Structure 1
Amino acid sequence: MFKYIEEICKNVQLEEGEKTIENILITVYLKEGVSTKEIARRNLLPIPVVAAIKKELIKRNLVIQDCGTRLTDKGRHYIENQIGFNVRDKDMYMKLYLDPWKEHEEIMQIQSELDEIFDNRPRVDVTIDQSKSSIETSLKRAILCLKNHNLVGKKILCLGDDDLVSISLGFLLKKLLKGSNDYSTEITVVDIDKRFLRYINDIAIDKKLPIKCIYTDLRMPLPCDLKNQYDCVFTDPPYTIEGMDLFLSRGIESLKNKIGIDIYFSYAHKSSDFQLNMQRHLLRMGLSISQVMLQFNSYEGASIIGNTGQMIILKTTEKTKSLIEASYKGNLYTGEIKKTIRIYECKKCGEIIKVGNKEKFIHIEELKDHGCCKCGDNMFELTRKINVNA
């Protein structure tokens, strides 16, 4: 493979990393005749930097200046066959890229196709901090991946996937390829929950999606064949500092050793003090915060986190490193670290029921399955929490 991007990055001394040059080529691929100013705006770069990169691209006969910037045949071949960026429905791609959160007809069609799949997914296991995201959230994450040019021709890792992001990514890809199964993208799901792995794998086979599922306990060292392989990572870890450290550390180990690679990090909204501590840990990992999107994620029945969460886009730097490479033996999940008794009230009869460790019902899903001990109804309201940490 020609190392044009690597050479140009070195010649221009580009601090933003090789991904930026790739994104510039994709920008030209999607809109022939695009101006230098527009390239700079779309890629958040100073115009002189874009001009310097263009000069290097022209030297290698990848682009030409002709009423704007245009690809040569060599440049188009390089993008489609070396980078792997080959989109059949460019109009749809551009619509999502330029206006990602609009209710486009194509996205509504995908959502309709996903309805039954999401309805039939396994029940969440709250003991390992699973929560059921909405279809809209899962699709928004896939669209965000597209917007950052991390979808087509990339190796994508989902660290845990009870939100079925892998399925949304696969359906979006299929739409962009107009139903073709000629994927240049590889999606890998690692999870400790075999129910979700089986479910995702069955759908991937049935729908012919480029998804591979691997059982992995992230408390153990990451398998060698998953290290330094991926172009981006999705993770929605346990909402504890320990969970964040472990999942992000495994994500860092899985990524290619390059600057500017994205980690799509979903997390609960937290207090200022908690977030300050989060940022200290992110700094220790050498990750920069590229974007914070509040209330990006929505969850069904997750009242404990207000039913919403934030999306934080992190980028790797030259100082990025994993904090945990060996086995992790400490507490990880919310219930292990922050032990509470939750007091629920039956909405029908007003019966008060305790839920938590050493109680009859360990978590709310068990209570819902059983029903109210007095009237049998399964609708409850959380009234308060009691901290039982010794």
Structure 2
Amino acid sequence: MAQRPAFLSSDPAGLPARRAALRLMDAVLRRGETLDVAEHAALQGIRNPADKALARAIVGEALRWLVDLDALIDSATRMPLAPDAKARAVLRLMLAQWLRLDTPPHAVVATGLELLDGGPRRLAHGVFSTLNKQAVTLPQVPTLPDRVQARWGALVAEVAPGLASPPPLDLTLKDPAATAEWAGRLGGTSLMPGHVRLARGTRVEDLAGYAEGAWWVQDLAASLPARLLGPGEGRSVLDLCCAPGGKTLQLAAAGWQVTGLDSSAKRLQRVEQNLARTGLAADLVQADARTWGTAERFDAVLLDAPCTATGTCRRHPDVLHRIGQGHITDMAALQADLLVHAQSLLRPGGMLVYATCSLEPQEGEAQAATVPLTPAPVTEQDLPAGIAPTPEGWVRTHPGMLAQHGGLDGFFIARWHLSA
């Protein structure tokens, strides 16, 4: 059972949260928007943070368990509902609340049927009541969509257990030497120096250390690419596609002279805000990372490339349903261009780290195989306990890894030197 956010009332939220959840899921499944993009419009008019959080939680669980929820719905109907039928959408949300958020069935019915004003309320009520009387349950592990299973193959069995629940909260510390101190103050655990993991449920802004900039939110896997560059010792590094800034902060805290580049002015504002909060410094540039030119050559380049982000499926389950082969092909072409340009910005002896938060080999292993630089293989000592490099010296993580500790995002990471 997914844990309900601690700051929510024990009483079910009212109708606005459910209406927002329906708008949010429609934007993802019908229009192909990301959850993050869809939230702005879907949550308009909702002022209560608890209602916003509940709407997001309902949709997150509905998308995480969509295949299994649909199977339950289909088992209780004589005629299959169309995939885009409003009654199916509402039933998905109703079942997610009951089976995943522990909402009492009477509250689910009272608010869910209101979403079908003028529609097949009797049908939805009948389906939900039938499943409730049968005391149905969901499997321990969510079933992934057919097209995901076709792409990932045998990896599905390893990844799926890591998707059963939303992830914990990971923090990266500005001062890794203070890891034990912050783990104690925050009541968390650490999986490697400079990392603290917390249970979900507390607003980030309310945690100790936020105001003074002692840490920032960053998944453990997302922190690995910058870690693989080591201490900066005053050397120069270019952080390509740097927003929202977690890796920029890491590099600055590790003593690098950082140039952070991103094409989005709005996203760079977030980097500026994070730098100001943490008291760290970096030069920020708004430009296209495929064509940006400078006479300067850098001691290191970190390219955390734009990608389909399928590795973030435990926190963004919308990617399981939005991303198809066309998205992957388009992103792979962009990544290839970025990788070529990144190499041209290295000085002799410099190091390149390439990363994507994708589980698609076309965006990871296939890209790394094209790089003509000297490999700098990653070792087990570079990684958290329980994570091993591939035989090529690359890093491949996925949500099923470190499951006993709460898992981690899916990433591909590789590292090279430019010969002097």
Aligning the two structures, in what range does the TM-score lie when normalised by the shorter sequence? under 0.3
Q: TM-score, normalised by structure 1?
A: 0.24
Q: TM-score, normalised by structure 2?
A: 0.23
